[in-house]
Structure 1
Amino acid sequence: MLTRHQLYGPRFQRVFPDIFLPASAPLDLFTRSRAAYLLVRDQGGALVGYSAAQLLDADFAPANAQAEVAAPRFMYRPRGLRTCGDRIEAADLVQAHNCRVTTPVRTAWDLARRVPLVEAVVAVDALARRAGFEPTDLLDYRAKHPGARGCRRLDRIVALADPRAESPPETRLRVGLVLEGLPTPETQYEILDEFGFLLAKADLAYPPARLAIEYDGRIHLERWRWERDRERDTRLAGYGWETLRFGHNDLRAIHQTASKVRGLLARRAPRPS
């Protein structure tokens, strides 16, 4: 239906060998992962790591993440594809979006053992929240696979994990504060009025100091959301709560962010009467 000249022309883009997309199609990780699956489908391969997480509808991969597959060791590895030769048992595989992918627990296990600490906690939080497993399930999985590379760090990762986090930046902020020496804040803390009615739910909170912490993504820059956030902050201030709002740049400067939180905690700490 297409000539080679047409396929390599401006109407299409090459993703991997013999796999093409329309030139206008967005080439995000989800699409690249499905394309990568076509390379290993007939050999019994599967999507793993960030690709598996993406197809399990847990979106937390870095912007530059490569598609990842478990494939035969003799497979040609094209540019832009990460491959692993680990043997994946049938019990560790599920179907997602018509592709074989590792289960949520196995995906969290794979990522937690190799990515940086904060991103490992992000992976566990996101997958555990999406799939409904407990972070401690990773320790049970480790007991069945003793001696696996990187498995010793799971104790710390599980201790830092909290699936109640509703977004990866929220996890990054929480873990960043803890690694800077601050107490672990409450996650998704419900602030109630004197009658027990819900005033707000804070991303993070230090209830004794009545300090709420919010991570503001891009949507919070829209005028309607900005006005609603300020209205909520004013309402909470009437009940003695102070709200700190942080964004992407504050995550990159986590030391300064933690210093600001530390200073407010010291000033707002309950004093003995």
Structure 2
Amino acid sequence: MHKRADLPSTLASSPFTYDSAVTAGVSAKRLRKDDVVHVSRRLYRPSTWSFELEGAARVLSEVSPGAWVSHVTAARLHGQLLPAWLSDSTELHMSKPKHLPQVRRKGVVAHKVIASADEIETVDGIRISTRSRTWLDLARRLSLAELVCLGDQIIRIPRAEFEARSQPFDTLEGLSALVSRHPNLQGVVRAREALELMRVGADSAPESMLRLAMLDANLPDPDLQIALRPNDAASPTADLGYRHRRLAVQYDGGHHLLEAQRLSDRRRDKAFESAGWTVLVFTKDDATDGFQRAVAAIKRHLHTAWIDQSYSAGFAGSG
């Protein structure tokens, strides 16, 4: 009895195409053994493989000429911030230009779209919609607030100490131009509305949600990333707030529970307080009611907060 030959290492850990198998010297007969699963037309996977989104997307991209990974699948591969109900989605979305036949594979959500060449990129060998195009594609599916959060992350200025980039993924102007190119796309109206609400400066989705809750309560649009000392690069900053009222608002997420970060946060807040500012700190617990209690606290403090005399005299602010 002949021992079954192991799959080549290039095929043993992820899905693969029939062409890849032939190139690796694997026969059609070998592909019918019980350690290989026939996924769909010219697609296979090792029987021991556990689903992993990138591996599935990679092989679908490879076997679908003219197509690219899009929508929720693209957002997840890009690491974009999705709402909780989509954050672990295993959906597989593939798009093709309208002039080509759509992708037809079981379990794949196929789209036929109009897209410019600069709306698609190749990342680690996978053809995929850009973050900006992905944001636009999701406009029909996400709520307005969720779309604003996703957009805020695209236009935010990265922090050099945490990220290996210095420029945002896109700008408000760039996203606006993208939306203008697709006036008939489903969701474009919501995308336009989101553009009006997006701001540069939100470092996380909860910060965006807090700001939107403040706007819904008819509070003034807050300043974002407020430096205590504007001309000092080392100045502590507040996530949002009102400089002319010396009111700083901080959203401290999960990483702020670490002891070193807590000490840093306390030094930050002390610096603002020593300069005469009121500091309000909110956490994920405040998000459970849509930041309603947080907004009420901000509103109370705004009524009693110090006001810059240049504002009260009409020489600063929008009037």
TM-score range, shorter chain: 0.7 to 0.9
> Which residue of the partner structure matches residue 50 of structure 1?
72
Give the Cα–Cα distance (whole angstroms) in 2 for the partners of residues 252 and 266 of structure 1: 25
Post-superposition CA distance 1:178-232 (Å, at most 9, x none): 2232211111111118x96754111112112211111111111122222222232
Structure with bigger helix share is 1
> Which residue of the partner structure matches residue 129 of structure 2?
102
Q: What is the deviation of 1:143?
A: 2.6
- Structure 1 residue 201 and structure 2 residue 237: aligned? yes
Which structure has the larger Rg? 2
SS in 2 for 1:136: helix
Whether the 8 Å contact between 1:33 and 1:67 is mirrored in structure 2 is no
Give the Cα–Cα distance (whole angstroms) in 2 for the partners of residues 196 and 94 of structure 1: 38
> Which residue of the partner structure matches residue 246 of structure 1?
282
Q: What is the deviation of 1:19?
A: 3.9
TM-score, structure 2 normalization: 0.69
SS in 1 for 2:228: strand
Which sits farther off after the overlay, 182-191 or 64-73?
Answer: 64-73
> Which residue of the partner structure matches residue 171 of structure 2?
134
> Which residue of the partner structure matches residue 120 of structure 1?
147
Give the Cα–Cα distance (whole angstroms) in 1 for the partners of residues 205 and 263 of structure 2: 24
Report the count of equivalent residues: 258
> Which residue of the partner structure matches residue 57 of structure 2?
36
Post-superposition CA distance 1:127-151 (Å, at most 9, x none): 2336442223333223322222221
Whether the 8 Å contact between 1:187 and 1:202 is mirrored in structure 2 is yes
The one-letter code matched in structure 2 to 1:41 is E
> Which residue of the partner structure matches residue 270 of structure 2?
234
RMSD, aligned α-carbons = 3.1
> Structure 1 residues 61, 39: closer, same or farther in 2, change over 3 A?
farther
Q: What is the deviation of 1:166?
A: 1.9
> Structure 1 residues 185, 40: closer, same or farther in 2, change over 3 A?
same
> Structure 1 residues 264, 41: closer, same or farther in 2, change over 3 A?
same
SS in 2 for 1:127: helix
Which sits farther off after the overlay, 53-62 or 236-245?
Answer: 53-62
| 1:55-74 equivalent positions in 2, closer than 5 A | 55-60=77-82, 62=84, 63-71=87-95, 73=102
> Which residue of the partner structure matches residue 111 of structure 2?
84
The one-letter code matched in structure 1 to 2:63 is D
Structure 2 unaligned residues grouped into runs of 5+: 1-5, 8-31, 96-100, 157-166, 314-319
Correspondence for 1:264 among 279, 284, 301: 301
The one-letter code matched in structure 2 to 1:176 is A
Correspondence for 1:145 among 182, 192, 195: 182
Give the Cα–Cα distance (whole angstroms) in 1 for the partners of residues 138 and 181 of structure 2: 17
